[in-house]
Each structure stands twice: as structure tokens, then as C-alpha cells.
Amino acid sequence: MPVRAWVRCFPRDISRLPEIFHFAHEFAEEEGVGAGPSHALDLVLEELFTNFVRHNRDGRHEIEVGLERFDAAVQLTLRDFDVAPFDPTKVPSPDLTLPLEAQSRGGRGIHLVRKLSREFHYGHRDGVSAITVSLSLSPGQEP
Amino acid sequence: MFEIKFGTNGNLSLSGRLDASHADRAVQTLKHVSGVVVADCEALDYISSAGITVILELHKRLHGSGGGLRLVGMNPKIRTVFVYTGLDKVLNIE
């Protein structure tokens, strides 16, 4: 069980990313999360936050970021309120075997999330989109 | 904070965090870079997919006009992001 859930809301503006990183670094320091998982946390937070901002352009509410430390994992949850469904777990990864010119421009961020995460789930209920990602704290499993 | 410094030989030095909030400014700053360019990444602390796209577009433009881009001095964290996105096989990384 986590000792404490860290939850904060951020304006849906990509220029506010440094504030999200600051929040994540505060969490990592207080909860004893190492440099490797903390780096993975930054990457996943950025990719998912920017994904919510770009795919729900009509969204009017702030995006909620929740972080929890468990024994062997960090769980992060992003919630976007009053929005249409958009499931990032269904976004195909780019075909990395194709020549660069033939690869699609999109999908690299979500591909990165898949590579970094132990679990990656999406749900939509009553107008709320929620993404939950679990990151391993085990040595050797972080970037 | 993200910064691009230009050397007298036309080479670049990247430092700080190249994330989505700095990507547009980086594209503007790199718009006039041409020829064969070495980008020193030793002081680069963080790069996301948005930052990778900036590098990738620069690589394509330089490569397409007969030049090229060489990335040097990456720390392991930064290199891992290029490996995970499959671009370590495409870009010239030393």
C-alpha cells in the first residue's frame, strides 16, 4: 500500500511542463525514488500529458496528475475531465524496421511509454479519461 | 531550461532538457543550420519524443541537402531514449 498519494492539477498547456516535472521530482525525492525510475517518470508524464492536451483540444478543465509509491513500483494516474474518449493504448507503435522516410511521424511518444512501463491502462467513464501506468523500481528495469 | 550554443566551426552544443515545452523554440533556432554538423550532447540531461522529433527533422534536412548530423557525447539515459525509439540505428550517434 502507498504511504501517501500525491495529487495535483495542472493547466492544459504544454508550457506548464516544467511545473509537472518539479512536482514529479519533489515526489521522487520525498518517496526515495531513484534517478533511473525518476527519469522514466518524467518521460511517461510528458508523453501522456501532452497526449491529453493535443487530443482533447476542446477540454476546459485542468489535468489531474496522481503519483503513488509502492514497494516495487511507482503508479501514475492522469485524469482528464469532461472529454470524449481517446485511448492512447490503442495508438500503434511506429514500424521501426521501415526506412525513416516511410515511418509515421506519430506514435513514438506512446511507443516510449510502452517500453518504459510495466502496465499501461486506459479507461473512460462519465466523461473522464483516465490513464494508469505502473513503472518498475527494480534495478535494471529502468532506463 | 534548454540551450543551444553555436561553435565558431558551425558545430552545436545542446544542454539542459529538450522537452515539448522547448521543442518549437529549438526548431526555430536550428532553422538556419546547414552542412555537416556535430552536435555535442554531453550536457543534455533529458530528451523526450518531442525533442527526438527536433533532432530527427534536423537530420533529415541536413542529410537531404548533402550535409549530415553527428551526435556525440550522449549520456546513457539520453542514449536509451534513442535506442527505445529505434533511432540509434538510423542516426549517426557516437
For residue A47, give the C-alpha cell.
Answer: 508523453
Per-residue pLDDT, B12: 94
Domain count within chain A: 1
Q: Percent of chain A having pLDDT more than 90? A: 73
Question: Please, what sign has the CA dihedral across residues A111, A113, A114, A115?
Answer: positive
Predicted confidence (pLDDT) per residue in B39-82, tens digit: 999 999 999 999 999 999 999 999 999 999 999 999 999 999 99
With respect to residue A143, please indicate whether it lies within any of the assigned structural domains: no
Contacts of A115 in chain B (CB under 8 A): 84
For residue B10, the distance in angstroms to the closest alpha carbon of chain A comes to 26
- Asked whether the beta carbons of residue A18 and residue B21 sit closer than 8 angstroms, the reply is yes
As assigned by CATH, the class of the B2-93 domain is: alpha beta
Contact A3, A33 (CB under 8 A): no
Task: Provide CB contacts within 8 A for B53, sequence distance 6+.
Answer: A105, A108, B23
The CATH number linked to A49 is: 3.30.565.10
Q: Percent of chain B having pLDDT more than 90? A: 85
B49 touches chain A (CB under 8 A): yes
What is the domain extent for residue A29?
5-136
* Nearest-angstrom CA–CA distance, A108 and A126: 29
With respect to residue A141, please indicate whether it lies within any of the assigned structural domains: no
- Asked whether the beta carbons of residue B48 and residue A109 sit closer than 8 angstroms, the reply is yes
Mean per-residue pLDDT of chain A = 90
Predicted confidence (pLDDT) per residue in B7-48, tens digit: 888 799 999 999 999 999 999 999 989 999 999 999 999 999
Determine the average pLDDT of the residues in A2-24. 93
Contacts of A109 in chain B (CB under 8 A): 48-50
Using the predicted structure, report yes or no on whether residue A134 has a pLDDT greater than 70. Answer: yes
Predicted confidence (pLDDT) per residue in A43-82, tens digit: 999 999 999 999 888 888 999 999 999 999 999 999 999 9
With respect to residue A117, please indicate whether it lies within any of the assigned structural domains: yes
Q: Which amino acid is at A36?
A: G
- Reported ipTM: the value is 0.93
Using the predicted structure, report yes or no on whether residue B1 has a pLDDT greater than 80. Answer: yes
Predicted confidence (pLDDT) per residue in A14-30, tens digit: 999 999 999 999 999 99
* Nearest-angstrom CA–CA distance, B45 and A6: 25
Question: Please, what sign has the CA dihedral across residues A134, A97, A46, A63?
Answer: negative
Of A19, A12, A136, A132, whose CA–CA distance to A70 is shortest?
A136
* Nearest-angstrom CA–CA distance, A42 and A62: 19
* Nearest-angstrom CA–CA distance, B51 and B17: 9
- Asked whether the beta carbons of residue A94 and residue B86 sit closer than 8 angstroms, the reply is yes
The pLDDT-based confidence of B89 (bands split at 50, 70, 90) is confident
